[in-house]
Amino acid sequence: MISIKSIVVDVDALAVDHPALDHAYALANRCGARLTVVDVLPPVPERARSFVTPGVEEEIVEDRRQRLEAIASRLSGVTVKTELLRGRPATAVVEEVLRSEHDLVVRSHGRDIADPPRPYGAIDMELLRTCPCPVWLIDRRPMHRETWRIVAAVHANGADATEQALNDRILDWALTLHDLGGGDLTILQAWIPYGASLLRPRMAADEFAAFLDDSRASEQRALDDLLRPYADRLTGASVQLVHGEPHDAIVDFVESHGIDMVVMGTVARSGIAGVVMGNTAERVLRQLRGSVFAIKPPGFESPLRLG
């Protein structure tokens, strides 16, 4: 089980409800982690300086700080502190992670969008690209269960050591969250044979069926190899190998099974660390309406640095 010692939760101190804080607090209680509750107050724009004087700004800061402390004061049973951060929201949160070496960031996703349908906002996406630790973006819709229905989306690929290491992180975190939160866990791998659309018209029906069977068997062997070291931790978990493009299969499974959280990797290989997300992750996030727990591969370094 992964050791979770420090969680930072990003809230809007002016809001009435705080779903991210509710989930972060529940998780901190279960694993004994410290909780840092933060809000980010952007700098005053130059065009507003004529009426937001330094004195007025100080009053705004103090009011926001008091609201933040009032929110945190309702929490008991865990070690809690508050920090009012200044700057660009995603950058300020990542800098807090780098400064204090938190294990996890929790935030209510899409809260910077006034009118969905886009489920994730600019701040969410920047965190997913640049935050060095896992980011748990909480669906703003209320969850009426105390336990979580979790899907761990993997892609077993024994030929790619980096992808396999990311799969291991996904599984470790998903199993840890399942152990802490109970509920249902599904390990999900989507597969579609390479070149199937081109081969179908060029092969006899029985040959194409054999090709599909062989492709599925190969995917199943790779998935079995990936899961073998976790056999003693997978009791009660479901393993699903589903046919289809990963972005469609993941979203369809989430919607049809009432999934609360998708644990997935987000960052693809890139010459610019932390800037490019994988194509599958980007496409899933355009459609996904539930919560996502996003994990970076080993060796990921945030492009942001402390000054």
C-alpha pair distances (Å), 167 with each of 161, 189, 237, 250, 286: 10, 11, 16, 15, 22
Task: Examine the domain organization and report whether 278 and 210 are in the same domain.
Answer: yes
Phi, psi of 190 (to 5 degrees): -95, 145
CA atoms within 13 A on the CB side of 203: 14
Number of domains composing the chain: 2
Task: Examine the domain organization and report whether 304 and 156 are in the same domain.
Answer: yes
Which pTM value belongs to this model?
A: 0.90
Task: Examine the domain organization and report whether 127 and 7 are in the same domain.
Answer: yes
Task: Examine the domain organization and report whether 302 and 154 are in the same domain.
Answer: yes
Sheet containing 80-86, strands listed edge to edge, beginning at the edge strand earlier in sequence = 80-86, 34-41, 6-10, 104-108, 135-138, 291-295, 261-265, 149-153, 184-191, 238-243
DSSP 284-299: HHHH--SEEEEEPPTT
83's enclosing H/E stretch is strand 80-86
166 close to 295: Cβ distance less than 8 angstroms: yes
> Band of the pLDDT at 306, cuts 50, 70, 90?
confident
Indicate the residue among 91, 113, 140 that finishes a domain: 140
State which amino acid sits at residue 64: R
Task: Examine the domain organization and report whether 104 and 190 are in the same domain.
Answer: no
Tell me the range of 101-110, 134-143, 296-305 where mean pLDDT is highest: 101-110
Task: Examine the domain organization and report whether 158 and 225 are in the same domain.
Answer: yes
Indicate the residue among 115, 140, 165 that finishes a domain: 140
Q: Which structural domain range is residue 81 located in?
A: 1-140
pLDDT mean over 72-85: 95
Indicate the residue among 120, 140, 160 that finishes a domain: 140
Task: Examine the domain organization and report whether 126 and 175 are in the same domain.
Answer: no
Task: Examine the domain organization and report whether 169 and 272 are in the same domain.
Answer: yes
- List the CATH number of the domain containing 103: 3.40.50.620
C-alpha pair distances (Å), 128 with each of 87, 252, 273: 18, 22, 12
pLDDT (tens digit per residue) in 121-153: 889 888 988 999 999 999 876 555 677 899 999
